[in-house]
A and B are shown apart, each in its own frame.
Chain A
């Protein structure tokens, strides 16, 4: 019986111990080495924390395999991991730690950097040994609803929310993926997504499920796309589970020349709507690959629907997000909570099943608001996650994404609450008040701010202390006084119209 994700790792280490499991630009590990290092880390944590379990352990991540090994080490200790990007502003990291209260912080970054109050990955490996007995007793007590990881995502009130996912949800995901896409032992996953995004969990765990290989792709390749294509060829990458924005870097710059394209079997993407034009570029250059549009928020463990692209779409058509994975139920709900069956009618996408996260870590209020009881069932309780995404059925009964219900946006593959940016902006001394909108066409976050004088530079300097780079607005519009609507709120409609007009000029 599989009730813990580590069983996949152990199966591979036992049966294909010498197989390449993980590789980054400088290092690589076989399955046997992968498991042994993870066990060392797990033993160290168990001893250090007196066998505390089901508690959060933060990991300062890098684009390296040490980060993945650390994750598994934490899982061995019976705790769960929380990836943290150390390049984020200090204030935001502190905000996350405040919510999380981690029992330990492990630094998995390269050797020459260190942070006070953390333990280095290498130091653990150099100083500790595997304690099989200890690890066994931890595992014997584990159940599949124990947390596996928590990933933080933007929160509209300015405080990031930690989505807490259990083993069972991940086991469900890798089984439904394997069935839908027949990944193999030979599959080489080219990991693009940073480890603090759950897109990367699909590389880590799908590879574990089938005994495949994860190639961690260096970040700089995604700025220099020609080098990226060369690297994919060199490392024999066969499967991409990427953010749409990453695939678009290759297509936007028309990077691939005939005969010089990677041999890819699966090209799967998620995070935002894939423009058909970019997709068609890929389909022209790599015609024999399987193309899949994946959809789902972190709260339902990566993805809940998929659409395999088997025909050519026109540049102006919308790609559907498709149908639910096996063992997942996806419905559309109208404002009154009734289930929508008819085609074309827009409703909120709601998800049920084992894939649902345990909730937001240490945040009952937000958890109760988003993970509701299915209103159509009264005899027993069934949890349902209301995504806030609106969609409708097309003629083939595939769901098509329509819009958002709130002020959440998708920008360069990141999920951002405009409210969180506004909270940070409004705290800047010389700025009275602000409002952010998303210019979808040009893919820019536009900040409208009220201040006595233009102060863009000051704003950016202040934001850089609080928000990660991907949340900084791209355009700043200064107002001495922002327009208000009848209810005394900033008039977003008017701002949007005025901005569009000025852009057209």
Chain B
């Protein structure tokens, strides 16, 4: 989780990812952020988040994204 927060904060230093829970619904992240986060996460965690995983419920919070990553790592 710490690593993920670090990745996300590096891309958007202005946000507190421990607290935000509506990153997509409230239009906080833009498409550039999503692309940057996905490519960093894929690289650092060695997974392949693909287009089917790009859903609001997976990206609304760092915790949700972390669940997705954990799920993919266990598969």
Question: Which A residues form the contact surface with B (CB < 8 A)?
Answer: 87, 219-220, 222-227, 245, 249, 252-255, 412, 456-457, 460-461, 464, 469-470, 474
Contacts and interface: CB of A to CB of B under 8 A. Distances in A.
Contact of A252 (B27, B35, B36): B35
9 contacts: A226-B52, A226-B54, A245-B31, A254-B50, A254-B51, A460-B12, A461-B14, A469-B30, A470-B30
Nearest to A460: B13
Contact of A224 (B13, B32, B50, B55): B55
Contact of B51 (A220, A226, A469, A474): A226
B34 A223 contact: yes
Interface residues of B, number: 20
A223 B56 CA distance: 9
Contacts of B7: none
Contacts of B25: 220
A464 B50 CA distance: 30
Contacts of B51: 225-226, 253-255
Contacts of B32: 412, 470, 474
A255 B31 CA distance: 15
Contacts of B5: none
Given A220-B56, A412-B31, A412-B32, 6 more contacts: A87-B27, A222-B31, A223-B54, A224-B55, A254-B50, A457-B14
Contacts of A252: 35
Contacts of A464: 14
Contacts of B54: 223-226, 253
B31 A249 contact: yes
Give the top 5 A-B pairs by smallest Cβ distance, nearest first. A253-B51, A460-B13, A457-B13, A223-B31, A255-B51
Contacts, number: 51
A87 B30 CA distance: 12
Of B12, B29, B32, B56, most A-chain CB atoms within 10 Å? B32
B63 interface: no
Interface in B1-53: 12-14, 24-25, 27, 29-32, 34-36, 50-52
A233 to B, nearest CB: 15
Contacts of B14: 457, 460-461, 464
Given A255-B51, A457-B13, A224 B24 contact: yes
B58 to A, nearest CB: 9
A227 B31 CA distance: 14
Nearest to B34: A223
Nearest to A412: B32
Nearest to B49: A253
Nearest to A255: B51
Contacts of A255: 51
A87 B34 CA distance: 19
Given A253-B51, A253-B54, A255-B51, A223 B13 contact: no
Nearest to B55: A224
Of A225, A253, A461, most B-chain CB atoms within 10 Å? A253
Given A223-B34, A224-B24, A461 B13 contact: yes
Contacts of A224: 24, 54-56
A424 to B, nearest CB: 14
Contacts of A220: 24-25, 27, 56
Nearest to B27: A219
Nearest to A254: B51
A456 B11 CA distance: 11
A461 B51 CA distance: 31
A473 to B, nearest CB: 11
Contacts of B34: 223
Contacts of A412: 31-32
A223 B35 CA distance: 8
Nearest to B32: A412
Nearest to A224: B54
A235 B47 CA distance: 34
Contacts of A87: 27
A242 to B, nearest CB: 13
A61 to B, nearest CB: 13
A10 B14 CA distance: 47
Contacts of A460: 12-14
